[in-house]
Amino acid sequence: MNEPGYAHDCPHCRFLGRGRAAILDAKKTFDFYVCEGSGDRRSFIARYGNREDQYMSGPLLGTAELSHLDLVALYNGLELLPEENERLLAKLADMYRRRLGGVREYQKLSAGGEVSFGSGNYLFPNN
Ligand SMILES: [Zn+2]
Protein backbone atom coordinates (compact mmCIF):
# COMPACT_ATOMS: atom_id res chain seq x y z
CA MET A 1 0.00 0.00 0.00
CA ASN A 2 2.77 2.40 -0.88
CA GLU A 3 1.07 4.14 -3.75
CA PRO A 4 -1.61 6.80 -3.38
CA GLY A 5 -5.06 5.61 -4.33
CA TYR A 6 -6.53 9.03 -5.09
CA ALA A 7 -5.56 12.04 -7.13
CA HIS A 8 -3.84 14.76 -5.13
CA ASP A 9 -2.12 17.64 -6.82
CA CYS A 10 -0.53 19.77 -4.09
CA PRO A 11 3.14 20.16 -5.02
CA HIS A 12 4.07 20.75 -1.37
CA CYS A 13 2.62 17.49 -0.11
CA ARG A 14 4.75 14.47 0.66
CA PHE A 15 2.93 11.13 0.47
CA LEU A 16 3.33 9.09 3.66
CA GLY A 17 1.28 6.00 3.04
CA ARG A 18 -2.14 4.56 2.46
CA GLY A 19 -4.26 2.88 5.05
CA ARG A 20 -7.14 2.91 7.48
CA ALA A 21 -7.80 5.10 10.47
CA ALA A 22 -10.97 4.17 12.32
CA ILE A 23 -10.68 7.22 14.55
CA LEU A 24 -11.29 9.32 11.44
CA ASP A 25 -13.73 7.07 9.60
CA ALA A 26 -13.80 3.29 9.88
CA LYS A 27 -15.27 2.84 6.40
CA LYS A 28 -12.68 4.76 4.45
CA THR A 29 -9.20 4.08 3.16
CA PHE A 30 -6.97 7.13 3.33
CA ASP A 31 -3.95 8.49 1.56
CA PHE A 32 -1.88 10.32 4.15
CA TYR A 33 0.28 13.33 3.36
CA VAL A 34 2.27 15.89 5.21
CA CYS A 35 2.12 19.29 3.54
CA GLU A 36 5.27 21.31 3.89
CA GLY A 37 4.30 24.38 1.92
CA SER A 38 1.67 26.06 4.07
CA GLY A 39 3.60 28.60 6.07
CA ASP A 40 5.57 27.92 9.20
CA ARG A 41 3.52 24.92 10.31
CA ARG A 42 3.19 21.65 8.50
CA SER A 43 -0.26 20.22 7.85
CA PHE A 44 -1.38 16.62 8.02
CA ILE A 45 -3.78 15.46 5.34
CA ALA A 46 -6.00 12.40 5.05
CA ARG A 47 -7.47 12.10 1.57
CA TYR A 48 -10.36 9.72 0.99
CA GLY A 49 -11.44 10.40 -2.59
CA ASN A 50 -10.48 11.95 -5.90
CA ARG A 51 -12.77 14.93 -5.59
CA GLU A 52 -10.99 18.09 -4.61
CA ASP A 53 -12.90 18.41 -1.33
CA GLN A 54 -12.54 14.79 -0.26
CA TYR A 55 -9.88 15.21 2.37
CA MET A 56 -9.41 16.17 5.98
CA SER A 57 -6.53 18.36 7.01
CA GLY A 58 -5.25 20.35 9.90
CA PRO A 59 -2.11 22.05 11.10
CA LEU A 60 0.10 19.45 12.71
CA LEU A 61 -0.16 19.85 16.49
CA GLY A 62 -1.72 23.22 15.81
CA THR A 63 -4.78 23.12 18.03
CA ALA A 64 -5.17 23.34 21.79
CA GLU A 65 -6.10 19.71 22.10
CA LEU A 66 -4.56 16.87 20.17
CA SER A 67 -6.79 16.45 17.13
CA HIS A 68 -7.75 13.10 15.69
CA LEU A 69 -5.49 13.88 12.76
CA ASP A 70 -2.62 14.55 15.19
CA LEU A 71 -3.28 11.21 16.87
CA VAL A 72 -3.24 9.37 13.54
CA ALA A 73 0.03 11.08 12.58
CA LEU A 74 1.65 10.23 15.90
CA TYR A 75 0.28 6.69 16.07
CA ASN A 76 1.65 5.94 12.62
CA GLY A 77 5.09 7.22 13.42
CA LEU A 78 5.33 10.54 11.63
CA GLU A 79 8.73 11.97 12.47
CA LEU A 80 8.35 15.36 14.08
CA LEU A 81 10.47 18.43 13.55
CA PRO A 82 12.16 19.78 16.71
CA GLU A 83 9.59 22.58 17.10
CA GLU A 84 6.75 20.08 16.66
CA ASN A 85 8.32 17.96 19.39
CA GLU A 86 8.28 21.01 21.64
CA ARG A 87 4.63 21.68 20.84
CA LEU A 88 3.74 18.06 21.55
CA LEU A 89 5.53 18.12 24.87
CA ALA A 90 3.89 21.39 25.86
CA LYS A 91 0.49 20.06 24.80
CA LEU A 92 0.86 16.85 26.79
CA ALA A 93 2.02 18.79 29.81
CA ASP A 94 -0.89 21.20 29.46
CA MET A 95 -3.38 18.32 29.24
CA TYR A 96 -1.90 16.92 32.43
CA ARG A 97 -1.75 20.30 34.14
CA ARG A 98 -5.46 20.81 33.59
CA ARG A 99 -6.03 17.53 35.39
CA LEU A 100 -4.26 18.80 38.48
CA GLY A 101 -7.76 19.43 39.75
CA GLY A 102 -7.47 19.84 43.50
CA VAL A 103 -4.06 21.43 43.06
CA ARG A 104 -2.79 18.81 45.48
CA GLU A 105 -0.37 17.40 42.95
CA TYR A 106 0.87 20.85 42.10
CA GLN A 107 1.42 21.56 45.78
CA LYS A 108 3.40 18.35 46.03
CA LEU A 109 5.42 19.41 43.02
CA SER A 110 6.26 22.80 44.40
CA ALA A 111 6.71 21.82 48.04
CA GLY A 112 9.88 20.68 49.65
CA GLY A 113 12.58 22.94 48.42
CA GLU A 114 13.47 24.89 45.38
CA VAL A 115 15.60 23.56 42.62
CA SER A 116 16.12 24.81 39.13
CA PHE A 117 17.85 22.82 36.48
CA GLY A 118 16.82 24.48 33.29
CA SER A 119 14.93 27.26 31.60
CA GLY A 120 12.05 25.23 30.20
CA ASN A 121 8.70 25.63 31.88
CA TYR A 122 6.28 23.28 30.18
CA LEU A 123 3.71 23.08 32.93
CA PHE A 124 3.35 26.81 33.44
CA PRO A 125 4.81 28.39 30.33
CA ASN A 126 3.23 31.78 31.00
CA ASN A 127 4.72 32.23 34.45
ZN1 LIG B 1 0.06 20.17 0.29
| Rounded distance from Cα 35 to ligand 1 centre (Å) | 4
Phi (first) and psi of residue 62, to 5 degrees:
-100, 0
The predicted-structure confidence for 110-127, as pLDDT tens digits, reads as follows 777 677 777 777 776 664
pTM score, two decimals?
0.81
DSSP letter string over 46-67?
Answer: EE-SSSTT-EEEEETT-SSSPP
| Distance from the alpha carbon of residue 96 to the mean position of ligand 1, in angstroms | 32
Which amino acid is present at 15?
F
The CA 12 to ligand 1 mean position distance, Å, reads 4
Q: What is the pLDDT of residues 71-89, one digit of tens each?
A: 999 999 999 999 999 889 8
